[in-house]
Structure 1
């Protein structure tokens, strides 16, 4: 085991993992290193990381109610409300009242939003291809599989 990975006893009696072996810190560090590659593209198109996630989720899933969209895009509901207004003002999404429950809104991509993603996706794919070339497609696939299993296990524990 690497020296900096062993738990350390603090003077107050708490044991802490070294920061390099802390799961939350490792996940954040990995996220930041990946996003550093995508931020210039997002900035060039005046889209925030959260807006990009919302647009991608809508492209993959089709129209969703706001609660499900917030969950799938990993966005807090208050932030999503502001974000949806901005995306609707830009014409990238459409918000419609649910036909069965007028209190609920369904959010979907507009034609302009679909065109936007079609225009920007090749740049995103190019960045992703560079990551795969640098790290290895199989390694990324294994990591994604492990993360999905990890999330599923945590969600299962939450429900139990």
Structure 2
């Protein structure tokens, strides 16, 4: 019998499992997003701004788990593609507020139907209760990790 240091670990590799689950999910959704000429990062930014309203780049980075240096490039490309608009705060010219353009708002409306259809397929494939439990478990995990 092979004895490795893994034999001493009591827990499964949760970060790796979450990454594998993310990749499996993105295999379903990536083609839908890219069909509209968007990258995954761009879609995450659009979703965050659609759900939360205008945000500062740092807030978008936090919500979308995109590093600040990468976010600067993502936002510059999105602005060049007329997906977002950046405005400086009147009282503090160092701060920037990022908002969706009408083009992005229309993309959300158009793409939402396709995404919702894929979520229904997901619920059919794995079961709606599984998806509901997963949402709850991830929400609880994030709340617990934020308390640290």
Q: Closer, same or farther in 2 for the Cα pair 1:132/1:82, shift >3 Å?
A: same
CA contact (8 A) 1:9 1:16 kept: no
Partner of 2:81: 90
Aligned residues: 146
Q: Which residue among 66, 85, 96 is the counterpart of 2:57?
A: 66
Displacement after TM superposition at 1:108 (Å): 0.7
1:46 aligns with 2:37: yes
Gaps of 5+ in 1: 1-7
CA distance in 2, matches of 1:71, 1:145: 21
Q: Which residue among 28, 53, 57 is the counterpart of 1:37?
A: 28
Displacement after TM superposition at 1:116 (Å): 1.5
Q: Closer, same or farther in 2 for the Cα pair 1:14/1:129, shift >3 Å?
A: closer
1:64 partner SS: coil
Gaps of 5+ in 2: none
Partner of 2:143: 152
* RMSD (Å) for aligned C-alpha atoms: 1.8
CA distance in 2, matches of 1:132, 1:39: 18
CA distance in 1, matches of 2:91, 2:108: 30
Query: 1:1-150 to 2 correspondence within 5 Å?
Result: 9-10=4-5, 15-16=8-9, 21-150=12-141
- Aligned structure 1 segments of 4 or more residues deviating by more than 2 angstroms: 13-18
- Structure 2 length as normaliser, TM-score? 0.91
Larger RCO, structures 1/2 (Cα 8 Å, 6+ apart): 2
CA distance in 2, matches of 1:77, 1:126: 33
- Structure 1 length as normaliser, TM-score? 0.85
CA distance in 2, matches of 1:110, 1:46: 16
